[in-house]
Amino acid sequence: MRTVQAYRFALDLTPVQERAVLAHAGAARVAYNWALARVKAVMDQRAAERTYGIPDELLTPSLFWSLPALRRAWNQAKAEVAPWWGEVSKEAFNTGLDALARGLRNWADSRTGRRAGRSVGFPRFKSRRRSVPSVRFTTGTVCVEADRMHVVLPRLGRLKLHESARKLARRLEAGTARILSATVRRDGGWWHVSFTVEVERTERAPAQPGSVVGVDVGIRHLAVLSTGELVENPRHLTCAQQRLRRLGRALSRKTGPDRRTGQRASNRWQRAAARLGRAHARVANLRRDGLHRLTTRLAATYGTVVVEDLNVAGMLRNRRLARHIADAGFAEIRRQLAYKTSWNGGRLVVADRWYPSSKTCSGCGAVKTKLALSEREYECQACGLVIDRDRNASLNLAALAAATAGSGPAAGRGANQKTRPRGQMAVKRQPGTASATQTGTVPPQGGTADRVLTKAH
């Protein structure tokens, strides 16, 4: 199976190398801002000419937003805009122009309805102090040296790694991987290099190919499995909250930058900001590591994994639970399971957002009209079953896999209406089977607002 994946390694740069990388990142920002200013000027000019009644064929020629068009415009003006352009790699300017081309395309697709999801705003100019330094190399010499502790990048030369790149080097030596691009980026005070690699992966099979597991994510427990396993929520952000507050107060007492007066930040403010950034980066790294361990274990063990399509953006509107929901990383769990199940030869079933996993009885299939968030135990009025609500939801998710067929990512279909009254509930089912109609759909559930509160556990 051929796939594209990334390998990310930390770098140990010397002061000279760090200045060179910052120069490349600054060149990318200059090209981005210049091209954006050019696009805005042409758009504003054409809009003003239309107000004068000028016909469209006589308007100022429009500037195409594709990467080749922006690159041609930049090559014609770079001698005047950036006379130092020969000091850095051409890939630096290509990085900024490519970022602008994608941003403009996403904005146009969002306005015309070709892009799903939340609306995308018009690209904004990048600040030297606020933007994250980054540069990508797609051509030239990009390789990992034989000692696996150094990488070679165009114009930057030989860079030392903070960790061994043996995992990537083994694939390159075996001929099962090919580097497509390399991106150098600064995150949390550390410099990292990320390789986009085309990999030929061997066919794998889960340890239990015929097994099904339902995964119900929440706050009290990060995940409750249908097997009865409870995965504790480490709450990394909550544990680091006291330290983050202390570092934030220390930062507020320093002399920071002021754009209104042109005041520059003091050295102590910059050091305090770096300490705060490293603390936040540690929290993000701990969360990422825990989620990778969980999703890798699930994908490598079970043949079918069933999760829910949660409205995480809506759940974050709950001001009492927003921080805990963001700290858990619900969307990241589903994203990682999506590609890891395909890598391991498994199947991912995504329950519809309207599927009432928490309101449905896992024993008889009866559906409750309402289920308050404070009710931590599910009590069925039809069969008398009393079970933990999270375990009940995971059992319903596992039963949903029987109603879906095929391989690869699948979606358990739901409905766009509220839960039906108890007198109109679906036909009762046997324990351990999915409550689905003959067309393969699952019983509907309450409205979106009710869904937000019900699943914020």
**Distance between CA 353 and CA 193 in Å, rounded?**
37
Q: Edge-to-edge strand order for the sheet containing 143-144?
A: 134-137, 177-187, 190-200, 2-12, 157-161, 150-153, 143-144
DSSP letters spanning 90-127: HHHHHHHHHHHHHHHHHHHHHHHT-S-SS--PPP-PPP
Q: How confident is the model at residue 375 (pLDDT cuts 50, 70, 90)?
A: confident
**Distance between CA 191 and CA 184 in Å, rounded?**
7
Tell me what the mean pLDDT of segment 59-80 comes to.
92
Tell me what the mean pLDDT of segment 47-66 comes to.
86
**SS3 assignment, position 210:** strand
pLDDT at residue 442 greater than cutoff 70: no
- Residues 6 or more apart whose CB falls under 8 angstroms from that of 314 comprise 448, 449, 451, 452
Domains of the chain by residue range: 2-15+133-200, 24-112, 205-233+278-457
Q: Which of 91, 98, 216, 450 is catalytic?
A: 216
Q: How confident is the model at residue 305 (pLDDT cuts 50, 70, 90)?
A: very high
Q: Which of 98, 327, 352, 390 is catalytic?
A: 390
187 flagged as catalytic: no
pTM for this model (two decimals): 0.81
**Distance between CA 28 and CA 93 in Å, rounded?**
5
- The helix (H) or strand (E) run that includes residue 211 is strand 208-217
pLDDT at residue 165 greater than cutoff 70: yes
pLDDT by residue (tens digit) across 19-51?
999 999 999 999 999 999 999 999 999 888 888
216 flagged as catalytic: yes
State residue 184 phi and psi, 5-degree precision: -105, 130
**Choice among 138-152, 157-171, 420-434 with the minimum mean pLDDT:** 420-434
- Residues 6 or more apart whose CB falls under 8 angstroms from that of 262 comprise none
pLDDT by residue (tens digit) across 177-234?
999 999 999 988 899 999 999 999 988 999 999 899 999 999 999 999 999 999 999 9
Q: Which of 98, 308, 352, 450 is catalytic?
A: 308
308 flagged as catalytic: yes
- Return the pLDDT at 129: 83
- Residues 6 or more apart whose CB falls under 8 angstroms from that of 415 comprise 352, 354, 441, 442, 443, 444, 445
- The helix (H) or strand (E) run that includes residue 302 is strand 302-308
